[in-house]
Structure 1
Amino acid sequence: MSKSKVGKTVESLGDYLREQRVSAQLSLRQLAEQAGVSNPYLSQIERGLRRPSAEVLQQLAKALRISAEQLYVQAGIVSPDATEARSVELAILGDPELSERHKQSLLDVYQAFRSSSPTTTPLVDPPAAVVVPDQGHQPIEGEQHG
């Protein structure tokens, strides 16, 4: 596995999960059972070979009795710095109507917009409303006049 940014994030997530599991005095098998994931899958997450979905992270956090938000940060899903960004990201992740694929797509787009938008751009006044002069009532076809 290459040592890309994602790889390092996943490895640090695995280390963090292992640390949390050990401090909770749970075996790999016990945590997997409580979180509703397979033992081999959890092992792969801890070793940095798999990147779990936000839903799996939420299940692991619940089983470990820790903040799901902290796992999202460790996994690189949620920004650790900006509070406003974090609340938007958490809202996306918490939406039960969205699939995991849609959640990830929305997060990618949101993060792309945040990274490309300059923070010093002054707010621009919105364009003035366009006023259309009243041209009288035009009868609609089939309308009855009374």
Structure 2
Amino acid sequence: MMSKNNTNGRNQFAMLTIDDLVPQDHLVRKIDAALDFEFIYPIVEATYSDLGRPSIDPVILIKLVFIQYLFGIRSMRQTIKEVDTNVAYRWFLGYSFEEKIPHFSTFGKNYVRRFRETTVFEDIFAYILEQAVKAGFVTEDNLYLDSTHIKANANKHKFTKE
């Protein structure tokens, strides 16, 4: 006898936290336990002003890039879509279900306006790498380089001659 799936579970109300929904062995939990991102604040402090509207937390901006590269997401636009729907990514960023994820252009604007002429990213990457080595995420046993060619997400027929 054929049965039909009941979709009423979509509207189910349950008392859960985001913490309950992220598996204990998920990579973002391991990273969160091993790496302390608080070091970012003093590094970027000089690039922020006391005037104007409140900004996006700089740790969130760096964690977005971290998620993008760690999980192989190809663009910031796609990263934001993934964070919007992935509970583990929201947990890693400290966002609730109700909180709106920053627009994908927020990172680009911050990079151009604040970080482009600085060594902020190099400093942050070096420190994260140092913490990752200490935590045992990175070893010097083997080094692999990926030279795979990735097809560009572009239209080769769109080019116009000037």
Q: Which TM-score band applies after superposition, normalised by the shorter structure?
A: under 0.3
TM-score normalized by structure 2?
0.25
Whichever of the two has the greater Rg, that structure is 1
Higher relative helix content? 1
TM-score normalized by structure 1?
0.27
